[in-house]
């Protein structure tokens, strides 16, 4: 698993616009008056920037990332480590754990292990921007359904944690946390990419077409679909489905955004 700083920078405005504000506010409330937030797969620190002033001044952020180049761009405590080593996560004194665009990349075994670790400490967990398998374009193209199905198959490949949950990630996370006694809240957080986001749209289409081809779409059909979609960038729109999840440990109340 790996992402470039350029890609993360390109997608950050769409990520921030898509995140569910109410779940973020509830998570901030659960973090307490002296927050210590552990951000898993921190990248360049987008989750911290998204929270902005939602957390009190002096909040401690522990940025956990396996890519040294990305981690060097983070502010806060930097923890360079392999996320597969759940026992080594810097959770001592933590009040909230976060992750963004991560759950769809991990295996069920890894996710079950994370739930066990967090439940042992009764820690709340906010996972944002997990891809949920939905993609839609306007105007439509005859190849959309086949490309989407192939892309979703590709998302279930090994991304470094074992066979990835892909579009099933949030449903499995919800079930695992609920089995551990957590209350789970979900919210849609789709990307809505219009003509004013052509650079992001172009990069996304390239990635979707490449993944679809790897997952079985014929080379000529993938190329035709990509060319048609590129031609529509200046006039069309796309929606890429994501879900946010907030898992609240037993005995804790998730605060409403205005609570």
User: Which pLDDT tens digits describe the chain residue by residue (259 residues)?
Assistant: 458 899 999 999 999 999 999 999 999 999 999 999 999 999 999 999 999 999 999 999 999 999 999 999 999 999 999 999 999 999 999 999 999 999 999 999 999 999 999 999 999 999 999 999 999 999 999 999 999 999 999 999 999 999 999 999 999 999 999 999 999 999 999 999 999 999 999 999 999 999 999 999 999 999 999 999 999 998 889 999 999 999 999 988 755 433 3
Provide the pLDDT for residue 254: 54
Per the rule left: phi > 0, alpha: psi between -120 and 50, beta: everything else, 48 is: alpha
The predicted-structure confidence for 195-240, as pLDDT tens digits, reads as follows 999 999 999 999 999 999 999 999 999 999 999 999 999 888 999 9
Q: Which residue ranges form the domains of the chain, and what is each CATH number? A: 5-132+159-192+241-248 (3.40.50.150)
Beta bridge partner(s), residue 130: 243
CA distance 147 to 151: 6
**Residue 61 DSSP code:** E
Q: Which residue has the tokens 């695992």?
A: 176
Q: At what angle do helices 198-214 and 144-155 cross, to 10 degrees?
A: 70
What length is written for the chain? Answer: 259
Cis peptide before 139 (omega within 30 of 0): yes
pLDDT tens, position by position, 149-164:
999 999 999 999 999 9
Report CA torsion sign: 88, 93, 96, 98. Answer: negative
Quote the tokens at residue 78. 């930097």
**DSSP assignment, residue 103?**
G
Half-sphere exposure at residue 224, Cβ-oriented, CA atoms within 13 angstroms: 11
Distance, CA of 132 to CA of 122 (rounded, Å): 27
- Rounded CA gap, 173 and 11, in Å? 24
The token pair that represents 137 in the structure block: 């374009």
Q: What is the pLDDT of residue 256?
A: 41
The pLDDT score that the predictor gives to residue 2 is 58
Q: Given this model, what pLDDT does residue 251 score? A: 87
């Amino acid at each position: 698993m790996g992402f470039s700083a350029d890609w993360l920078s390109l997608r950050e405005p769409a990520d921030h616009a898509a995140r569910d504000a109410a779940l973020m506010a509830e998570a901030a409330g659960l973090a307490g008056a002296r927050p210590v937030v552990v951000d898993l797969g921190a990248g360049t620190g987008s989750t911290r920037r998204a929270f902005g002033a939602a957390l009190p001044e002096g909040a401690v952020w522990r940025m956990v990332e396996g890519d040294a180049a990305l981690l060097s761009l983070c502010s806060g405590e930097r923890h360079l480590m392999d996320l597969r080593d759940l026992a080594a996560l810097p959770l001592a004194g933590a009040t909230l754990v976060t992750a963004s665009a991560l759950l769809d990349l991990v295996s069920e075994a890894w996710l079950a292990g994370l739930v066990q670790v967090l439940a042992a400490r009764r820690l709340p967990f906010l996972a944002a921007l997990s891809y949920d398998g939905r993609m839609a374009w306007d105007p439509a193209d005859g190849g959309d359904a086949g490309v989407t199905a192939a892309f979703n198959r590709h998302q279930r490949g090994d991304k470094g944690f074992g066979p990835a949950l892909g579009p099933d990630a949030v449903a499995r996370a919800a079930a695992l946390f609920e089995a551990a006694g957590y209350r789970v809240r979900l919210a849609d957080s789709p990307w809505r990419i219009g003509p004013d986001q052509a650079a992001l749209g172009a990069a996304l289409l390239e990635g979707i077409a490449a993944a679809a081809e790897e997952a079985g779409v014929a080379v000529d059909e993938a190329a035709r679909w990509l060319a048609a979609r590129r031609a529509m960038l200046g006039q069309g729109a796309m929606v890429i489905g994501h879900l946010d999840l907030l898992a609240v440990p037993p005995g804790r109340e998730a605060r409403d955004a205005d609570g």
